[in-house]
Amino acid sequence: MKNIVILISGGGSNMAALVRAADREQWAKRYGAKIAAVMSNKADAKGLEFARAHGIATEVLDHKAYPSREAFDVALAERISAYDTPGQPALVVLAGFMRILTPAFVERFAGRLTNIHPSLLPAFTGLHTHQRAIEAGCKFAGATVHLVTAELDHGPILEQAVVPVLLGDTEATLAARVLTQEHLMYPKAIARLLQGS
């Protein structure tokens, strides 16, 4: 069985979409894969409650308890690797994990570390993507699922969803429409990865 470990920092709505899709589409039966754990760098991340309610193991590693970014990433990598099974390293899915990962961490999980970003990459890496798209006069915005590389919000694109920017859109209204698409596309991208593995 291939284990999936999801990393979150907050509400975990994309994580919840993945959990629901895994149940609905029977990932265990179809792909030999299951969501084995949800980890967070914040003990009060609301998504942890959802994971527990669905019988998924949860773990908290507070990044503030570590002397450096490197030390935190080493500890996090060790916890994730505990979910590897013989011949089946765990798939690591970033779902609103608000930490920039070190190159050593990214290298350790290369090819099995995914992220979802709320823009049509390579446009608008980093934060405040929706506001920046509106200010730039973009006619379209969206979201991207990609494999993670050492460069922030870069890496091979697995899936994209396009959302029109409407007249009078605010950061909040555009973000809400993009998020709806994220919840559809992230499970689809992960299912495709599992199919190919």
Catalytic option among 117, 130, 146, 183: 117
CA distances from 107 to 77, 158, 194 (A): 11, 18, 20
Mean pLDDT score, 98-111: 96
The whole-chain average pLDDT of the chain stands at 97
Task: Please say whether the beta carbons of 120 and 140 come within 8 A.
Answer: yes
2-196 architecture in CATH?
Answer: 3-Layer(aba) Sandwich (3.40)
Query: Which residue reads 């609905």 in tokens?
Result: 24
Neighbours of 60 (CB within 10 A): 15
Dump pLDDT digits (tens) for 121-159: 999 999 999 999 999 999 999 999 999 999 999 999 999
Which sequence spans correspond to the domains of the chain? 2-196
Q: What pLDDT sits at residue 126? A: 94
Pairing of strands 33-40, 91-94: unpaired
Q: What pLDDT sits at residue 197? A: 61
Reading the block at residue 179, the tokens are 């998020």
Residue 54 designated active-site: no
Choose among 197, 196, 188: nearest CA to 22. 188
Q: Which amino acid is at 180?
A: T
Dump pLDDT digits (tens) for 21-31: 999 999 999 99
Q: How many residues are given for the chain?
A: 197
Choose among 141, 172, 146: nearest CA to 159. 146
Confidence band, pLDDT 50/70/90 cuts, at residue 93: very high
Task: Please say whether the beta carbons of 187 and 21 come within 8 A.
Answer: yes
Mean pLDDT score, 16-45: 98
Q: What pLDDT sits at residue 114? A: 98
Q: What pLDDT sits at residue 196? A: 85
CA distances from 168 to 137, 138, 183, 185 (A): 12, 13, 24, 26
Mean pLDDT score, 28-45: 97
CA distances from 72 to 3, 16, 104 (A): 22, 25, 12
